[in-house]
Amino acid sequence: MTKKQLTLKQDMARVCRQIYEKGLTYSTGGNISVKLDNDTFLIKPADYCFGDIRGKDFIIINKKGEIIEGPRGNRPSSETPMHLTVYRDIKDVNAVIHAHSPNTMVFATMGMAIEAATTFAEEEVGFVPVAPYRVPGTQDLAEIAAKTLKSVEKGLYPPPNQPAIACLLEKHGVLVAGKSLMKTFYALESLETTARTILWMKVLENSK
């Protein structure tokens, strides 16, 4: 294992813990990956909780999703096809996070796109459309999610101030792809905060 890989694994574990501690996903839901080069990727193993994962648990896979290196018994995330399809179809993406963020899930479940409500959300993630429902873990979901992200890319990506793009997965969760692991994490956090802001705005509007 190279020093770069070791550092990235530790960074990924740290981001996973922050995602869990900030309530951006729960239980074993969600997954995360980072591009190492054009042929190899680091990805979270299936059945691990974001709150418990350590750097040494991550797996290196190739473009086909085959294991190159990883701890015995660990299987790549069930959403590996979705991660690989995003890397295949969208240039300049170096990290992908899929999460079941509770406030964002309200919009995903209702099939409602999210528009940036604050200046900060505009800069970090921008407009977030909905990918129509497909069965989790399938190539079908991977294709529709990548296509929906691509529609964002065409309009907005990559302007200098928006280092990540995102879409909602109907009745399921959120998918964020970005130029770096940290930018992708910040976009996820920003999106969940935006979703919460919009929900509270609706509460206040209705209480007038």
Site for Zn ion, rule CB under 5 A: 173
Q: Which residue number has the CB closest to Zn ion?
A: 173
Distance, C-alpha 76 to centroid of its chain: 16
Q: Are strands 164-169 and 130-131 parallel, antiparallel or unpaired?
A: parallel
Nearer to Zn ion, 77 or 162 (CB): 77
In the complex, least distance from residue 173 CB atom to Zn ion, rounded to whole angstroms:
5
Largest CA distance in the chain: 59
Query: What is the smallest separation between the CB atom of 206 and Zn ion, expressed in angstroms?
Result: 30
105 or 116, CB closer to Zn ion?
105
Distance in Å, CB of 98 to Zn ion, minimum? 6
What tokens were used for 178?
Answer: 């970005």
Nearer to Zn ion, 81 or 173 (CB): 173
Nearer to Zn ion, 100 or 183 (CB): 100
Show contacts of 63-72: CB within 8 Å, 24+ apart.
63/39, 63/87, 63/88, 68/40, 69/1, 70/45, 71/45
Single-letter amino acid, residue 15: V
Comparison of 83 and 116: residue with beta carbon closer to Zn ion: 83
Measured from the CB of residue 25, what is the shortest distance to Zn ion in angstroms? 8
> Angle formed by the axes of helices 139-156 and 80-89, to 10°?
30
Least spacing, CB of residue 38 vs Zn ion, in Å: 26
